[in-house]
């Protein structure tokens, strides 16, 4: 039973006066240590702890390096002991038949020594084949933002699956979806794709086509899916390709301009070249820890793009956590192009991209002047009947103001409790929340841009923290410290996470 005070008055936080003083932090030793499973750890591209001396690790995160290593090692051992069935099923070399032993290679990028095998998930609860039940705050990192298999979506999927899944022709569901998207997001013209990556790719193609310009401007540290033009970074003021990319056909830096988020002067200077077709932006950077826009930044972004003839694409794939119309509707943004993916069909792969009447008019003109042929947009399964049925159910019955109200309420309780634990244990960390999305950053804040966000990442520490929480039945997103609250999340589950977080903090800071 959780001890978190959310069981009392809503929005209150835990009372901590009854706890003793925080013990002094431990002196140093090195981070790392043997993997109990004898496999290398994956993911967490990690300049952070390898390039730092332990004293720096502690100065940056407030946690002694030797505690990070010790906590991770003991959490790894506990994980291995308590997941024998998953370990047996996955096998010593991973699942047979799959490259890298998993259906998608990033499934090895979690903090666990090996991934657990999922048995089922419903609402905000996930079960593994070892019989553990997790309060799921990862929620398929946003694909399940409205819970696993919400009833209206499950019913729509069942209904549609009795009638065929894909025909390359519209269904009656499509009539409703077009109207629902236009009403909700305020843009008149829409297309359906399968992933947010696809939607961004197609929208950027339209931007290039209608402006006749070659370049895309991105914010340093962004992520918009596996979209080539966005795989660039600023390093020492120079645009470079993101490390780790494989098989690029061309030098991506020639198609991109990169500016730090919140840097209005930098934005003005880069747009002044007159070769930018489109600025693509998350309205809040959620993939770089979480970076909020400075006051006036979005106004400046819109004014400068208009003045220089560049289009503005707002990617709401994550920031749809803000409310039913996303950050765009909540803050009155005026994008030319708009992208939404992941949870839009309740977990069925689907995305939507919309645009203004002005873009429609220009696109018509370009198409009329172009020889007929493949536009380079759309895939065979784009806008399939199953996706449209699930999207309609999600828009009509799942992404409701009431659902958002419940999510926001519990997310704010989670935020307050995390903040209070951070304060009590005296670590230089902070918490940022965007509606239902809560991000813990193991560094000082607020962060102003992608460079600061990258420096704030603490992969070794985050790994130890994630695994500690997991061992206590709480799953958070693997690549940073993201916790998402869905309509089915209960107060008990939030309480469980708050308590597990506090125990992990105690363990990390006091041993």
Ligand X SMILES: Cc1ncc(COP(=O)(O)O)c(C=O)c1O
Residues of this chain that bind ligand X (CB under 6 A): 195-197, 200, 223-225, 282, 287, 315, 317-318, 341-342
Closest distance of CB 497 from ligand X, Å:
22
Q: Which is nearer to ligand X, 351 or 417 (CB)?
A: 351
Closest distance of CB 297 from ligand X, Å:
17
Q: Which is nearer to ligand X, 476 or 498 (CB)?
A: 476
Residue 210, SS3 per DSSP: helix
Q: What angle do CA 135, 454, 107 make, to 5 degrees?
A: 45
Q: Which is nearer to ligand X, 196 or 488 (CB)?
A: 196
Write down the residue that tokens 């809503």 correspond to. Answer: 10
- How far is it, in rounded angstroms, from Cα 503 to Cα 425? 11
Cis peptide before 446 (omega within 30 of 0): yes
Closest distance of CB 365 from ligand X, Å:
28
Tokens of 499: 């308590």
Q: Which among 414, 429, 434 is positioned nearest to 476, based on CA atoms?
A: 414
Closest distance of CB 387 from ligand X, Å:
13
**CA distance to 172, 229, 245, 411, per residue, from 249 (Å):** 41, 12, 11, 43
Residue number of the CB closest to ligand X reads: 225
Residue 223, SS3 per DSSP: coil
Q: Which is nearer to ligand X, 224 or 480 (CB)?
A: 224
- How far is it, in rounded angstroms, from Cα 256 to Cα 280? 11
CB 84 within 8 A of CB 132: no
Q: Which is nearer to ligand X, 64 or 347 (CB)?
A: 347
Which residues neighbour 397 within 8 Å (Cβ) at sequence distance 6 or greater?
A: 150, 152
Q: Which is nearer to ligand X, 58 or 298 (CB)?
A: 298
Closest distance of CB 201 from ligand X, Å:
9
Closest distance of CB 34 from ligand X, Å:
32
- How far is it, in rounded angstroms, from Cα 398 to Cα 487? 9
Closest distance of CB 349 from ligand X, Å:
8
Q: What angle do CA 54, 58, 64 make, to 5 degrees?
A: 80
Q: Which is nearer to ligand X, 106 or 167 (CB)?
A: 106
Closest distance of CB 264 from ligand X, Å:
22
User: Counting beta carbons within 10 angstroms of the beta carbon of residue 95, is it exposed (0 to 12), middle (13 to 18) or buried (19 or more)?
Assistant: middle
How many CA atoms lie less than 13 Å away from 159 in the CB half-sphere? 14
- How far is it, in rounded angstroms, from Cα 226 to Cα 208? 18
Closest distance of CB 195 from ligand X, Å:
3
Q: Which is nearer to ligand X, 103 or 405 (CB)?
A: 103
Closest distance of CB 296 from ligand X, Å:
22
Residue 17, SS3 per DSSP: coil
Q: Which is nearer to ligand X, 352 or 464 (CB)?
A: 352
Closest distance of CB 142 from ligand X, Å:
7
Q: Which is nearer to ligand X, 287 or 493 (CB)?
A: 287
Q: Which is nearer to ligand X, 190 or 223 (CB)?
A: 223
CB 340 within 8 A of CB 198: no
**CA distance to 171, 352, 393, 402, per residue, from 396 (Å):** 17, 15, 5, 12
DSSP string of 404-419, one letter each residue: HHHHHHHHHHHHHHHH
- What b/e string do you get for 59-86 counting C-beta neighbours within 10 Å, with b at 16 or more? ebbbbbbbbbbbbbbbbbebbbebbebb
Q: Which is nearer to ligand X, 69 or 281 (CB)?
A: 281
CA-based radius of gyration for the chain: 23
- How far is it, in rounded angstroms, from Cα 394 to Cα 404? 13
């Amino acid at each position: 039973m959780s001890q978190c005070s959310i069981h009392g008055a809503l929005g209150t936080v835990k009372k901590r006066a009854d706890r003793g003083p925080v013990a002094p932090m431990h002196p140093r030793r090195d981070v790392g240590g043997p993997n109990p499973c004898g496999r290398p750890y994956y993911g967490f591209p990690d300049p952070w702890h390898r390039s730092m001396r332990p004293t720096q690790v502690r100065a940056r995160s407030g946690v002694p390096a030797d505690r990070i290593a010790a906590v991770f090692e003991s959490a790894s051992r506990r994980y291995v002991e308590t997941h024998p069935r998953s370990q047996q099923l996955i096998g010593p070399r991973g699942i047979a038949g799959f490259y890298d032993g998993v259906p998608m290679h990033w499934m090895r990028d979690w903090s666990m020594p090996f991934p657990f095998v999922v048995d089922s998930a419903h609402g905000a609860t996930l079960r593994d084949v070892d019989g553990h039940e997790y309060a799921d705050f990862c929620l398929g990192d946003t694909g399940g933002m409205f819970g696993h298999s919400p009833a209206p979506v499950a019913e729509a999927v069942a209904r549609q699956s009795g009638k065929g899944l894909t025909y390359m022709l519209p269904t009656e569901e499509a009539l409703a979806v077009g109207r629902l998207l236009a009403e909700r997001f305020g843009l008149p013209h829409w297309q359906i794709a399968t992933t947010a990556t696809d939607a961004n790719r197609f929208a950027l193609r339209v931007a290039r086509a209608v402006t006749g310009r070659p370049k895309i401007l991105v914010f340093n540290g962004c992520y918009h899916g596996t979209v080539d033009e966005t795989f660039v970074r600023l390093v020492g003021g120079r645009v470079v390709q993101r490390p780790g990319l494989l098989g690029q056909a061309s030098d991506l830096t020639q198609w991109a301009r990169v500016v730090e988020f919140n840097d209005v002067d930098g934005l003005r200077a880069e747009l002044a070249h007159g070769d930018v077709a489109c600025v693509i932006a998350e309205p809040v950077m959620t993939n770089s820890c979480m970076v909020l826009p400075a006051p006036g930044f979005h106004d400046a972004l819109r004014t400068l793009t208009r003045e220089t003839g560049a289009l503005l694409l707002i990617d709401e794939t994550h920031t749809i956590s803000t409310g039913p119309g996303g950050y765009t509707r909540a803050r009155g943004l005026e994008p030319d192009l708009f992208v939404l993916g992941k949870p839009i069909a309740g977990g069925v792969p689907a995305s939507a991209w919309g645009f203004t009447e002005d873009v429609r008019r220009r696109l018509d003109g370009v198409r009329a002047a172009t020889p007929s042929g493949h536009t380079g947009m759309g895939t065979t399964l784009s806008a399939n009947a199953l996706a449209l049925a699930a999207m309609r159910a999600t828009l009509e019955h799942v992404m409701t103001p009431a659902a958002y109200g419940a999510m926001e309420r519990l997310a704010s309780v989670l935020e307050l409790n995390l903040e209070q634990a951070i304060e009590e244990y005296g670590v230089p960390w902070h918490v940022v929340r965007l509606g239902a999305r809560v991000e813990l950053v193991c560094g000082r804040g607020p962060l102003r841009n992608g460079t600061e966000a990258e420096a704030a990442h603490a992969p070794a520490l985050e790994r130890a923290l994630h695994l500690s929480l997991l061992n206590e039945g709480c799953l958070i997103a693997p690549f940073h410290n993201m916790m998402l609250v869905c309509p089915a999340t209960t107060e008990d589950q939030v309480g469980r996470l708050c308590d597990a977080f506090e125990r992990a903090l105690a363990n990390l800071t006091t041993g």
